[in-house]
Every structure is written in structure tokens, then in C-alpha cells.
Structure 1
């Protein structure tokens, strides 16, 4: 015979923690004077569209790819140095 799945025992604590987090974060949103309606204003929507349109088509010229390669190698060098220092400290 089929049985129903048991209730989640952590549902109530998760709900209470979520409500508590909202209550604690709400004053920060109020004090920051966040106004999301400004984002969908006509001029701002056009500006965001122009900004996003600048990403297409993606740049693939030689100068940009060389810059990208140098940045990738620099990132790998910094990561290697960080791992080496971490191993020395540990």
C-alpha cells in the first residue's frame, strides 16, 4: 500500500529563519532608498538596452584576444603563487 511522504521536520525552522532574515534586512532596504521602479522607466530601459546591445556581437579581434590571454595567464600566476604561499604556511 502506498504511504504519503512524511512532513519535512525542518520546514518550520526554515520558515522562521526566512521571516527573521526579511525582518532584519527590511530596514536596510528602506534606509538605502532603493527604488526599483526607476529601472523600468522609459529612458533607463533604453539605456540598459543600449548597454546590453554593446555585448553583441562579442569582440574577437586579435588585440582583444591577446589581452584576454595575458589576463588569463596573470590569473593563473596569481593563483599558483597563492597556492604556494598557502602550502608554505600550512
Structure 2
């Protein structure tokens, strides 16, 4: 949610199942069966999420509330050695 992007969740263990269920119920993403989804199901889910303008707007609002948005610009690497 930090970057305001929809999420396809494939939980594996621990709290991932609860988090995936919550995100799915809130409509911020889709939980697929980790070992049961088909290629077509994944492709259709991605296409639907990426084409959903209302979802994009809701996620942008959520990202703003979470302090998210675009990542900061990258700074050039600095050498730690002698100059």
C-alpha cells in the first residue's frame, strides 16, 4: 500500500494468510491460492487490477495516508575509500 499499487498475494506461512485475506476483503488486491492458481487466473487478475481506475484512485489515497508515493530519487553511489 505504501506505493499505491494493487497486490496479488500468494501467502506461504504465518501472518501472510491473514494479511492477504484482509487486503482481498478491503479490495486493495487479490489473494490467489498459492499452489492452486492457473496461468490464466493470474493473467486475468493482473489485467483486471491494472485496468481498474477506481482501485488506482483508492490506492493512491491510501498511499498518501501511509506516507507513500513515488520512491525517493536515487543518489549516486559514494565511495567509502580514499579520494
Same fold (TM over 0.5): no
Give the structure with the larger strand fraction: 2
TM range (shorter): under 0.3
Larger Rg: 1
Give the structure with the larger helix fraction: 1
